[in-house]
Amino acid sequence: MADEELEAIRRQRMTELQAKHGDPSSDQQGQQEAKQRETEMRNSILAQVLDQSARARLSNLALVKPDKAKAVENYLIQMARFGQLGGKITEAGLIEILEKVSQQTEKKTTVKFNRRRVMDSDDEDDD
């Protein structure tokens, strides 16, 4: 993906945002249109960055864990904007990225038992 395309997308987005702020009467409709344009822009960038199998895996992930899929999408878009991607990412490459994101967002769960000793029958000797 060329830097010129990304720059054109950025300029288009800036003009849209400036136009949106100039007309406050259609605020809700403008927000909805802006959100739709943003999703279209995200999808177009991801289509340029990912191959077909990787897109399918990412969409399956979005059904199960939407927050994780959004984080991976943001990561891929950021890498594309800074020109860190050499070509289209395959499914194996996407799996590596998913593992990285999983390690970064890994939550460690601990279980702590609070035992009450007030009415503990083990302490008493019943003869």
Q: What would the mean pLDDT of 102-111 be, rounded to a whole number?
A: 80
- What was the pLDDT predicted at 47? 87
Q: How many CB atoms lie within 10 A of CB 85?
A: 16
Residue, of 108 and 35, whose pLDDT is higher = 35
pLDDT at 106: 75
Three-state secondary structure call for residue 50: strand
**E runs forming strands in 1-127:** none
Residue 57 near residue 83, CB atoms below 8 Å = no
**Res 104 pLDDT > 60:** yes
Domain boundaries, the chain: 40-104
Entry field: residues in the chain: 127
Mean pLDDT of all residues in the chain? 81
Domain 40-104: CATH superfamily, name plus number: PDCD5, DNA-binding domain (1.10.8.140)
**62 Cα distance to chain centroid:** 9
